[in-house]
């Protein structure tokens, strides 16, 4: 979400919310987001948005340029098929990978960090393998997941790779993901939104 705000040059103020300290369980937080997840985006005095893809869609309607649902194609116009393909890449991360390695699932699975890590590693590996296959199937080029410009698929990929590295998934075994991810990390919108920049100072 922060990368999208940066990409679309929408100013915002970030508040640090720690899942590990149960900040999302406080009455103040739950009043804004009753399911206690992050991210939450305050958009006016009474509305708070949740769910990353819903927020991405909102931000795209709010500020359509640059758009990120179809990718730009140098040899042709973008079509609804492009949008569905970008959507499929997003879903592999957002529905097929991230939720299975999310903290509540790991806590339900086991109290043992080793078991949690083994599970998360397996499902992230599985999700990225699917993503890699689809990148290849859709003919991903060098720099982006789809087409010649940044799309929502890139925006979904970067935080999932961040998590993959936390669980020691070797992303060099996915050549397309590895190459694209390296390029994405050099872009301003990802540089200024990197999670390490939003950690509280000691």
Ligand X SMILES: N[C@@H](CCC(=O)N[C@@H](CS)C(=O)NCC(=O)O)C(=O)O
DSSP 21: T
> What is the rounded distance in angstroms from the CA atom of residue 169 to the CA atom of residue 63?
35
Q: Where are the alpha helices (DSSP H) in the chain?
A: 2-7, 27-32, 52-62, 80-94, 103-109, 113-137, 152-166, 175-184, 188-191
Cα 43–23–114 angle (5° rounding)?
120
Stretch that binds ligand X, among 35-43, 57-65, 67-75, 123-131 (CB under 6 A): 35-43
Query: Of the ranges 31-39, 80-88, 133-141, 192-200, which one interacts with ligand X (CB under 6 A)?
Result: 31-39
Cα–Cα nearest to 124, from 146, 104, 102, 141? 102
Q: Could you say which of 70, 94, 151, 160 contacts ligand X (CB under 6 A)?
A: 94
Say if residues 27 and 15 touch (Cβ distance below 8 Å).
Answer: no
Q: Is 127 in the site for ligand X (CB under 6 A)?
A: no
Using CB under 6 A as the binding rule, whether residue 91 contacts ligand X is answered as no
Query: Looking at 10, 103, 185, 192, which residue binds ligand X (CB under 6 A)?
Result: 103
Q: Residue 37 or residue 126: which is nearer to ligand X going by CB? A: 37
Q: Does 102 bind ligand X (CB under 6 A)?
A: yes
- H/E run at residue 41: strand 40-42
Q: What is d(CA 97, CA 11) in angstroms, rounded to the nearest whole number?
A: 30
Residue 194 CB, nearest distance to ligand X (Å)?
A: 15
Least distance in angstroms from the C-beta of 74 to ligand X: 31
The number of C-alpha atoms within 13 Å of 202 and in the hemisphere containing its C-beta is 1
Decide if residue 19 touches ligand X (CB under 6 A). yes
Three-class DSSP category at 40 = strand
Q: Which positions from 43 to 72 touch ligand X by CB under 6 A, shown as an x/- string?
A: --------xx--------------------
* Shortest distance, position 73 Cβ to ligand X, whole Å: 27
Minimum separation from the CB atom of position 51 to ligand X (A): 5
| Least separation in angstroms between CB 105 and ligand X | 9
36: contact with ligand X by CB under 6 A = yes
Footprint on this chain of ligand X (rule: CB under 6 A): 19, 36-39, 51-52, 94, 102-104
């Amino acid at each position: 979400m922060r990368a999208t705000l940066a990409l679309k040059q929408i100013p915002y103020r970030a508040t640090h919310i720690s899942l590990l300290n149960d900040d999302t369980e406080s009455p103040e937080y739950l009043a804004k987001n009753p399911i206690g997840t992050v991210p939450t985006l305050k958009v006016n005095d009474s509305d708070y948005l949740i769910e990353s893809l819903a927020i991405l869609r909102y931000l795209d309607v709010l500020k359509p340029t640059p758009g990120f649902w179809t990718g730009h194609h140098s040899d042709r116009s973008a079509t609804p098929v492009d949008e569905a393909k970008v959507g499929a890449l997003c879903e592999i991360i957002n529905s097929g990978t991230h939720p299975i390695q999310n903290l509540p699932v790991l806590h339900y699975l086991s109290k043992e960090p080793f078991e949690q890590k083994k599970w998360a590693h397996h499902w992230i590996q599985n999700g990225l393998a699917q993503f890699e296959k689809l990148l290849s199937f859709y003919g991903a080029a060098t720099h982006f997941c789809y087409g010649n410009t940044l799309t929502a698929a890139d925006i979904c990929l970067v935080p999932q790779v961040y998590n993959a590295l936390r669980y020691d998934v070797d992303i060099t075994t996915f050549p397309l993901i590895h190459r694209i991810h390296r390029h994405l990390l050099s872009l301003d919108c990802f540089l200024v939104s990197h999670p390490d920049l939003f950690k509280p100072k000691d």
